[in-house]
Amino acid sequence: MTVQSGLPQVTVFSLGGTIASTNDPGGDAAGVTPRLGARELVDAVPQLQEVAELETVAFRQTASGDLTLRDLVALAAEITKRFDAGVAGVVVTQGTDTIEETSFALDLLVRGPRPVVVTGAMRNPTLAGPDGPANLLAAVQVAASPQASGLGTLVVFNDEIHAARFVRKTHTFSPATFRSLTAGPLGWMVEGRPRIAFRTPELHGTPTGVGEEVPAVALLKSALGDDSRLVEQVEALGYAGLVVEAFGGGHVPAHVVPALGRLAGRLPVVLASRTGGGEVLRETYGFPGSERDLLSCGLISAGFLDGLKARILLSLLLATGADLAGVRNAFEQVNMSVSSPPSPE
């Protein structure tokens, strides 16, 4: 959608986070907190006036660790309304702590080719050289660009363009914190223009009809000397599913397998890797506790999804009422989305 200025229309939703954090001038407490809304963030970057006609929405004002999947379901509905009204793209600003999760949730929840771009900052506005303004400018430039069409939800940060399905936060304070270890960035920014090096296929198997109530899903990471006590408590604590971040290509201590197998007969148990890159193997290793052993016990492969993203997908699938077979099928379809199409004969 374009307006009288001839520029594409982009909506900026702010959720809080470092990019919006500053001091309380009259307060006694040390440290910055989220205080700035979307309008204040946009007004601080005058170059945006040359890129797009902007609508600003202060959707939430919080640290990103306090966001919930219910917040994201509501945000996805608001984004969909903007797309139905004809906006060219949407930008979401938030804290970086959970960008890898929230961006993937939006990738699953928002339909259609127009881009959703998530960004934030590692250096707050009170510091020398805050990165928020540059990240916001780049995010709007991507959201307003026809080149971003059909790429799903993106994370634009430090002049790199990442697919939400692959990106991870990898450093506690570096502005270059976001990396896509499995696939690399989709592209980069140069002189205000997005350069797309490769395009991601459309995701299949994404949840539809997600309700307001999202069941709780546990996430457990395998560790040296681990035992099965936490696994045995998952169902009793009221969790509707479990994601296991296993060693390497999908391995756990052999003595944990029986507990996981029993649980997988009652709840969806998804097998991911704790490494953060690559994907879960299927048929390489055959020792007790290997990926072959666990998959034969009924665990569901997360494939290329890391544990955090697998938990998002499982949670949203359960919020649609999906049963065990439906969850398994959805994970298989999502993973088949990145397979190369068959070569023509």
Diameter over CA atoms, the chain: 72
- Residue 136 has which token pair? 């916001």
Contacts of 309 (CB under 8 A, 6+ apart): 100, 101, 104, 165, 302
Report the C-alpha gap between 220 and 224 in whole angstroms: 13
Active-site residue among 11, 18, 182, 206?
A: 18
How far apart are the C-alpha atoms of 135 and 156, rounded to whole Å? Answer: 7
3-state DSSP assignment of residue 156? strand
- Alpha-carbon distance 74 to 123, whole Å? 28
Structure tokens at 156: 């634009």
CA 158 – CA 193 distance, rounded (Å): 14
**Residue 313: C-alpha distances to residues 75, 107, 202, 322 (Å):** 17, 10, 15, 11
Per the annotation, the verdict on 62 as an active-site residue is no
Q: Work out whether strand 217-221 and strand 53-62 pair parallel, antiparallel, or are unpaired.
A: unpaired
Strands 241-246, 269-273: pairing is parallel
| CA dist list (Å): 21 to 40, 119, 182, 226 | 11, 14, 32, 39
Name residues whose C-beta falls within 8 Å of residue 318's C-beta, 6 or more positions apart in sequence.
Answer: 214, 215, 217, 240, 241, 268, 327
Alpha-carbon gap, residue 106 to 108, rounded angstroms: 5
> How far apart are the C-alpha atoms of 23 and 30, rounded to whole Å?
8
Which sequence positions are flagged as catalytic? 18
